[in-house]
Structure 1
Amino acid sequence: MALVAALSACGAKTGPDGVAEPDGESPARSRIAGTHWNVERLTLDDGTTTAPHGSAWIEFDGRGHAAGSFGCHRFRAGAEVNAAGDRVRVGDIEAYGSGESEQSEEAGQSEESGQSGDGKPECSRERLAFESYMKKIFRGDLRIIGGASQEMVLVALGNERKDRLQLQRGRSAPLLGTKWTVNSLIDGDTQVGPAELAPGVGEVSVVFEGDGTVHGFLGCNSFKAKAEVGEKSMKFSEAAVTTHNSCGQRADALEARLLRDFRKDALFSLGHDYLNVTTDAATPSQAGGFHAKAGSRRSGEEKEGERK
């Protein structure tokens, strides 16, 4: 979820939770404004619950506007947060672009890695389906449910039909040194979670280091490879497992699938707390790669332990 540039006004002060408070704004309003909120999931009044396959996020500037991503397409909207910080009125919405991290004048971020043959980013069916649900909820008068202090990082936006968007406070993660947890694999225009391919598999994770290497866990075994990282591209080579556990045929197939990606050239996009890596992007039907969410930064001791 590409980060829109600082939304606080010049001369803004910082509140007790570290969020900028524009002059004249109440503390309650500032807790929802000036913060990057990731959309973790949505719940419809019929009980349907779904999480985005891509990166959906929202930012309120506290001065009548919001910006974000529906999961694939970016948007701008009128969004007036009341002084009490418990209501927001969403006005006209302008959707644009096709790519969750498409560059904007404010963000200065790179375009999404997945691209079609004509150079335009692709949106999977799952992302478009999630967008349609999110657009139904993010409109009109919404109630802000829950706190937004540094300790309380979850809030929800709800309408009169009891539809809900659950939001989580996000923090920007750098590419290098971050443990990236792979939550979906790209297979053409669809995405599938590692656990769906290999039930019971361990958490798949990837770490890029500043020395031109990448390492992590493939669900059963650890691996390492070389990674030449450019502005928007990655060149992988010499991928190999570093442990030799046996976890069954499905886990072996998942690891083989991931290792193929780490032996190819790829495009990537880095957002607020997500990473997209796409191989064979010029041919969408054959695209591979993965989508990952940022985990924790690791200490020097953890780094040494992972290398062993």
Structure 2
Amino acid sequence: MRRRRAALGVLVSLLALTSCGTETGAGSGGAVRTELPVTGIRWGVDSVTVDGKRTAAPADAHVEIDAKGRASGNYGCNLFTADVRVEGETFTVGPATSTERGCEKDVQRFETVMSRAFSGELTAAVADRKLTLTSADGDSIALTSQPPAPLTGTTWTVTALVSGSVASSLPAGAEGKAWIVFGEDGSVQGSFGCNGFRGHGTVSGSTITFDSVDSTKMMCPDPRMKLERAVLAVLDGKTTYRIDHRSLSLTAENGEGLGASATEKTRTGETRGTAG
């Protein structure tokens, strides 16, 4: 009789755990107890509102939360990690650890408000692809889920230039001027930063070989011409490419390269400034 009672007690305990739907993580006791679809998703930060002032987010700002109670992401320039407990609609974010990169002043200001807002106890609301996190003081973070970007059909806007292992920002006044779109048929079009171009790129594994790239011949201000020369040097011959969610890196055989980010707006079919 005692064995039967003990067995019954074990069965009841197993049933209770199964119906709970709780995922408990390792580390410092982080846990996820929620029906909100928030884990395993890359959430791009749209804006942060602190003390009633809304600040738009840099393109790289994002947050990811795993089922083990860990948040990681980018404040806009610096990477961060933090323990997070998600219970129902309540997020409790612990102290964060972040890198210490030097950032542009505007980005640094955003990082300050973002790190302040993404801490402590927050209330979550999910609607469609949108997530809003709000503190008791009314500060809030607006986020949108970001599906991984495919190589083809995506507008890749150049955000950085790379020489060897060193990345640098674009020349002042040239931000957002260079972009690339790869077509399913192997076509490539876009802007070097000043002149538009069309050509062909053969994709094989992790490499893209560019050929037959023709461009317009306009003269533009020095910052845009400097960007153009750098991008043109990369889109020439064989390059190695890598996609990290919504970021693309292209590296030529001589070590020169560029970084680009996926943008929502498609420019496929846009004719202004492209080579005929």
Distance 2:239 2:101 in 1: 18
Structure 1: runs of 5 or more not aligned:
1-11, 13-23, 99-122
Q: Which residue number corresponds to residue 69 of structure 1?
A: 73
- CA offset digits 1:262-301 (Å, max 9, x no partner): 115433221222222234685xxxx4312222334577xx
Alpha carbons 2:177, 2:224 under 8 Å: kept: no
Q: 1:67 to 1:268 in 2, by over 3 A?
A: farther
Q: Which residue number corresponds to residue 189 of structure 2?
A: 215
Cα drift, residue 217 of structure 1: 1.9
Cα drift, residue 40 of structure 1: 5.0
Cα drift, residue 207 of structure 1: 0.7
Q: 1:295 to 1:135 in 2, by over 3 A?
A: closer
Distance 2:254 2:153 in 1: 25
Question: Which of 182, 187, 203 is matched with 2:158 structurally?
Answer: 182
Distance 2:227 2:131 in 1: 33
Distance 2:170 2:247 in 1: 15
Distance 1:124 1:238 in 2: 39
1:97-246 alignment to 2 at 5 Å?
126=103, 137=116, 141-144=120-123, 147-150=125-128, 153=130, 155-156=132-133, 167-186=143-162, 189-193=166-170, 196-198=172-174, 203-241=177-215, 243-246=216-219
Distance 2:258 2:91 in 1: 38
SS of 1:245 mapped into structure 2? coil
Distance 1:185 1:265 in 2: 17
Question: Which of 214, 226, 240 is matched with 1:253 structurally?
Answer: 226
Letter of the 1:60 partner, please give it.
Answer: I
SS of 2:264 mapped into structure 1? strand
Cα drift, residue 150 of structure 1: 2.2
Distance 2:161 2:135 in 1: 31
Count of matched residue pairs: 241
Letter of the 2:223 partner, please give it.
Answer: R
Identical-residue share of aligned pairs (%): 23
Q: 1:144 to 1:244 in 2, by over 3 A?
A: farther
Distance 1:261 1:183 in 2: 14
Distance 1:36 1:205 in 2: 23
Cα drift, residue 139 of structure 1: 7.2
- CA offset digits 1:116-144 (Å, max 9, x no partner): xxxxxxx97549x97x9699558752424
Letter of the 2:128 partner, please give it.
Answer: Q
Alpha carbons 2:196, 2:275 under 8 Å: kept: no
SS of 2:150 mapped into structure 1? coil
SS of 2:127 mapped into structure 1? coil
Alpha carbons 1:58, 1:66 under 8 Å: kept: no
Distance 1:126 1:235 in 2: 33
- CA offset digits 1:2-51 (Å, max 9, x no partner): xxxxxxxxxx9xxxxxxxxxxx844xxx1544532024567889x9x795
Structure 2: runs of 5 or more not aligned:
1-20, 22-32
RMSD of equivalent CA atoms: 4.8
Which has the higher relative contact order, 1 or 2, with Cα contacts under 8 A spaced 6 or more apart?
A: 1
Cα drift, residue 175 of structure 1: 0.5
Q: 1:249 to 1:139 in 2, by over 3 A?
A: closer
Cα drift, residue 93 of structure 1: 7.6
Alpha carbons 1:275, 1:291 under 8 Å: kept: yes
Distance 1:289 1:79 in 2: 34
Alpha carbons 2:239, 2:251 under 8 Å: kept: yes
Q: Which residue number corresponds to residue 37 of structure 1?
A: 43
Distance 2:102 2:260 in 1: 15
Alpha carbons 1:274, 1:294 under 8 Å: kept: no
User: TM-score, with normalisation over the residues of structure 2?
Assistant: 0.61
Cα drift, residue 214 of structure 1: 1.7
Q: 1:124 to 1:141 in 2, by over 3 A?
A: closer
Q: 1:91 to 1:72 in 2, by over 3 A?
A: same
Alpha carbons 1:182, 1:293 under 8 Å: kept: no
